[in-house]
Amino acid sequence: LEYFFLSDTEAAVPAVARSLAHMAGKNRDKVEWGQFQYCTSGTKLLARLIVLASVPQEGGRGIHILRFLLKFSHNINRHLVDVWEARFPLLLHFLEQHKDNVELGQWQDWLLALV
């Protein structure tokens, strides 16, 4: 999770998010936020990932970030799980259909509507 907060590892975000989404799907344990230096809360992680996902085409990171958030939502806020399970499939479908051509203004509005 710390890699999301380091600017010199930003190019690795798609791979990190994809790997974490895979791991989060298999491991539903509660995260101990105190073990991290930069990623100290679910709210802080959510804010950082929304910023990163706001430009979704870079390495396909938007798709991987949303998949990770969907599987990890119980660690961010248990009340988000049902809402995100309803909305994320539509956002993921949109990104899959528009991999190379996303209208950023509209996309960013949709992301902000999630929080």
In tens, the pLDDT along 17-64 reads 999 999 998 888 889 999 999 999 999 999 999 999 999 988 889 999
Burial of 50 (0-12, 13-18, 19+ CB in 10 A): middle
Sign of CA dihedral 1, 55, 79, 45: positive
In tens, the pLDDT along 70-108 reads 999 999 988 888 888 999 999 999 999 987 889 999 999
44 within 8 A of 75, measured Cβ to Cβ: no
92 within 8 A of 63, measured Cβ to Cβ: yes
In degrees, rounded to 5, the angle at the alpha carbon of residue 54 between the alpha carbons of residues 58 and 84 is 115
Whole-model pTM: value is: 0.91
